[in-house]
Amino acid sequence: MQKLGDFKLPHFFNYPPYFTLQPVRETREKQIQLWKELILDYCRTQKIFIVRLEEEFPLFSNSVIERTLSHEAREAFLSALVAEGRAEWLDKGRRNCLILWHRIQEWADIIVNFVKDNGFEDSVMTVEEIRSGIESRGTELHGIDRTILMRALKLLEQKGKLAIFKGTSTDDEGVKFSV
């Protein structure tokens, strides 16, 4: 089976029609489904949070069969993810897409578990520490996209699980848990 780095690719990745946006509705729907799953899988395993359409994205090209997804196709597949709530456009021009291979709610749950696992129920941490601190190593939180993290934290703040406060410098935000 073919690999992209250490990512195992499915057999149909070498099927040329997979890289041409299909016009027939039923066929296209299936194609979109397969691409959605593949994108999410890939991003999850590679910890990719943002896909930029105008840049090279390894998944969108297959040098073996010499095919590349057209811009139209890329937009179509990502829009399908957005519609499902698994992604968000970061700009109006639809050039940058935030991939939510975990939904925000899922991230929020992960944070709560993280807090519980490490006994941070009443602690204070900086946002940066959550992202890249020693404790987060080995967890999914490590290296999480800052935008996503903030959204998850805000969601938890709304639920009263924590409070966000500004630190001494502008990007030194902190969180007080009350999980």
- If the CB atoms of residues 2 and 105 are measured against another protein, the closer one turns out to be 2
Q: Which of 39, 63, 78, 101 binds another protein (CB under 8 A)?
A: 63
- If the CB atoms of residues 2 and 158 are measured against another protein, the closer one turns out to be 2
- If the CB atoms of residues 65 and 124 are measured against another protein, the closer one turns out to be 65
- If the CB atoms of residues 4 and 150 are measured against another protein, the closer one turns out to be 4
Q: Which of 47, 54, 55, 58 binds another protein (CB under 8 A)?
A: 58
**Least separation in angstroms between CB 20 and another protein:** 5
Residue range at the interface with another protein (CB under 8 A); choices 18-26, 125-133, 159-167, 169-177: 18-26
Instruction: Copy the structure tokens of residue 80.
Output: 């399908």
- If the CB atoms of residues 27 and 105 are measured against another protein, the closer one turns out to be 27
Instruction: Copy the structure tokens of residue 146.
Output: 């800052």
**Least separation in angstroms between CB 53 and another protein:** 19
d(CA 88, CA 141): 19
User: What is the footprint of another protein within residues 28-47 (CB under 8 A)?
Assistant: 30-31, 33-34, 36-38
Neighbours of 132 (CB within 10 A): 15
C-alpha pair distances (Å), 93 with each of 12, 58, 80, 107, 159 = 30, 22, 16, 27, 33
Neighbours of 134 (CB within 10 A): 8
Does position 72 interact with another protein (CB under 8 A)? The reply is no
Containing 96, the helix (H) or strand (E) segment is strand 96-99
The residues pairing with 88 across neighbouring beta strands, listed in sequence order, are 98
Q: Which residues fall within 8 angstroms of residue 107, CB to CB, at 6 or more apart?
A: 144, 148, 149, 151, 152
Give the residues lining the site for another protein (CB under 8 A): 1-8, 10-12, 14-17, 19-20, 22-24, 26-27, 30-31, 33-34, 36-38, 58, 63-67
